[in-house]
Amino acid sequence: MSKIILLGYMGVGKSTLGELLSKVNRHHFFDLDAQIEESFGLSVQEIFKSKGELAFRKEEKRQLHQIMNMNADIVLSLGGGTPLYYDNADFIFNTDSFKTVYLTSSLKHLVHRLFKEKQQRPLICHLQTEAELEDFIRKHLFERHHIYDRAQYQLNVDDRSAKESVDELLNLLNAH
**In CATH, what number is assigned to the domain containing residue 87?**
3.40.50.300
* Strand arrangement of the beta sheet that strand 153-156 belongs to: 28-31, 74-77, 3-7, 98-104, 153-156
* Residue 30 covered by a domain: yes
> Is residue 104 scored above 70 in pLDDT?
yes
* Residue 128 covered by a domain: yes
Cα–Cα distance measured from residue 80 to residue 94, given in angstroms and rounded to the nearest whole number: 18
* Residue 16 covered by a domain: yes
Cα–Cα distance measured from residue 16 to residue 19, given in angstroms and rounded to the nearest whole number: 5
Question: Structurally, how many domains does the chain consist of?
Answer: 1
Q: What are phi and psi of 82, to 5 degrees?
A: -50, -50
The pTM of the full predicted model, rounded to 2 decimals, is 0.90
| CA–CA distances in Å: residue 131 to residues 9, 77, 107, 115, 137 | 18, 28, 11, 10, 10
* Residue 146 covered by a domain: yes
| Length, in residues, of the chain | 176
> Is residue 175 scored above 90 in pLDDT?
no
* Residue 175 covered by a domain: no
| Residue % of the chain over a pLDDT of 90 | 78
pLDDT, position 155: 95
* Residue 77 covered by a domain: yes
* Residue 170 covered by a domain: no
Confidence label for 119 from pLDDT (cuts 50, 70 and 90) = confident
pLDDT, position 96: 84
Q: What are phi and psi of 44, to 5 degrees?
A: -55, -45
- In terms of residue numbers, what domain contains 100? 3-162
* Residue 48 covered by a domain: yes
